[in-house]
Structure 1
Amino acid sequence: MYITVPDEKINLIKSIIPRLEEISNTKIELNERTKSINVTPLNNNAYDAMKVISIIKAIGVGFDPEDAMKLMKDDYILEIIDLKDVSNGPDDLKRIKGRIIGEKGKTKKIIQEYTGVNIIITDHYVGILGNVEQADIAKRAIEMLIKGREHSTVYKYLDRAERDLYLFKINRALKEGLNNT
């Protein structure tokens, strides 16, 4: 499995390769000339290699390596939205990023606080790193902003989604408790 990373991230990736190999049971080869990384599972478990690829992608987008390492957990995912795919030129891209970030970072902060995910916004990417359920909620909220929904509508969605997720978790815990008796 191959992946490429931005030039400015090569040294950072290079510095964590031994740690990644250790925690993932993979062999990672970096070709500095082509800026490509080959990840090979040592135990024929492609799942581990895919997790390493996600970690490298997360670092490539701009996440801190320690945060990216959380992707080794089974319930953590990385979502990347390419804003070039949803914008009509530089001015539209700037407007969309502004809607996601909000005034003085307010909107981004609210999404992160409601969902507990980490969000990175770069030139034309939005990276979301977090628990599977929470990342899905954050992604949906960001997609709503991209489509032009009012911020208040998005905040109401976040409130409702978090409440629904909380109730779902309580019901699941109750059912598991009943099944164990």
Structure 2
Amino acid sequence: MQHVKIPQDRIGVLIGEGGETMRRIEAEAEVRLDIDSENGSVAIETVGDPVRGLKGPEIVRAIGRGFAPEDALRLLANDMMLFDLVDIDAASRNKNDLQRQKGRLIGENGRTRELMEELSGASVVIYGSTLGIIGTPPEVDAARTAAEMLLDGAPHGAVYSFLEERHNEMKHQGMQYHRYPGGTAGEDA
């Protein structure tokens, strides 16, 4: 049994309309979820395949960090799918700097975040003080590196060039993209 704590405002997303999302996660990840909607604590118990069950806490964590349930469930697509978090707060000096850093990651009209997704192949969500990434190891690595470059103050143009280069490398190496059409979660600015 594992325990994950998620923000109050994400509990409804985890449960879904009439418990639909919760039941889908339980069925696909072969786990049982016990959600305490008072404090955001979620107990996750594996009830089937232990390998699939290991992804249960990651799926709950991903939804808690702003991903749409469909994107979080991509973690079950294959053993190579990863969920990673970049702590924006750790790269910020204060609350104003946190907002500035989030703005750099999101970009004008969300364009930087969109390019990060398009060129890395990973799903990227900015929520609260974190940037979440779901994808294969090379996709996650490209998105994480781009985010860290931006947080370290690199010009957007340099980051876009880096992403273009990585995109072309992955294409050249025959890396398959695991994006699902229209399956992009929003961000909380």
Question: TM-score w.r.t. structure 1 length?
Answer: 0.84
Determine the C-alpha separation between the residues in 1 that align with 2:164 and 2:29. Answer: 36
Q: Which amino acid aligns with 1:11?
A: G
Hey, what does 2:9 align to over in structure 1?
8
Determine the C-alpha separation between the residues in 2 that align with 1:32 and 1:103. Answer: 35
Displacement over 6 Å in runs of 4+: none
Hey, what does 1:157 align to over in structure 2?
162
- Does residue 87 in structure 1 map to residue 88 in structure 2? no
Q: Which amino acid aligns with 1:12?
A: V
- State the percentage of identical aligned residues: 28
Q: Which amino acid aligns with 1:100?
A: L
Residues 144-179 of structure 1 deviation map (CA, whole Å, 9 limit, x = unaligned): 000111112111111211222222237xxxxxxxxx
Determine the C-alpha separation between the residues in 1 that align with 2:160 and 2:35. Answer: 42
Q: Which amino acid aligns with 1:53?
A: P
Q: Which amino acid aligns with 1:135?
A: V
Q: 5+ unaligned residues in a row in structure 1: which ranges?
A: 171-181
Hey, what does 2:187 align to over in structure 1?
none
Determine the C-alpha separation between the residues in 1 that align with 2:131 and 2:86. Answer: 5
The structure with the larger Rg is 1
Instruction: Report the 3-state secondary structure (helix = DSSP H, G, I; strand = E; otherwise coil) of the residue aligned with 1:78.
Output: strand
- Does residue 48 in structure 1 map to residue 52 in structure 2? yes
Per-residue deviation, 1:44? 6.8
Residues 93-113 of structure 1 deviation map (CA, whole Å, 9 limit, x = unaligned): 122112112222222222121
Q: Which amino acid aligns with 1:54?
A: E
Number of residue equivalences: 169
Determine the C-alpha separation between the residues in 1 that align with 2:167 and 2:135. Answer: 14
Determine the C-alpha separation between the residues in 2 that align with 1:70 and 1:59. Answer: 12
Determine the C-alpha separation between the residues in 2 that align with 1:19 and 1:28. Answer: 11
Per-residue deviation, 1:2? 0.5
| Structure with greater helix percent | 1
User: Alpha carbon RMSD of aligned pairs, Å?
Assistant: 1.9
Per-residue deviation, 1:43? 4.1
Residues 36-92 of structure 1 deviation map (CA, whole Å, 9 limit, x = unaligned): 1111222472x3233111111111111111121111122322211121111110121
Instruction: Flag the 1:104–1:13 CA change in 2: closer, same or farther, 3 A.
Output: closer
Q: Is the 8 Å Cα contact of residues 30 and 49 (structure 2) preserved in structure 1? A: no
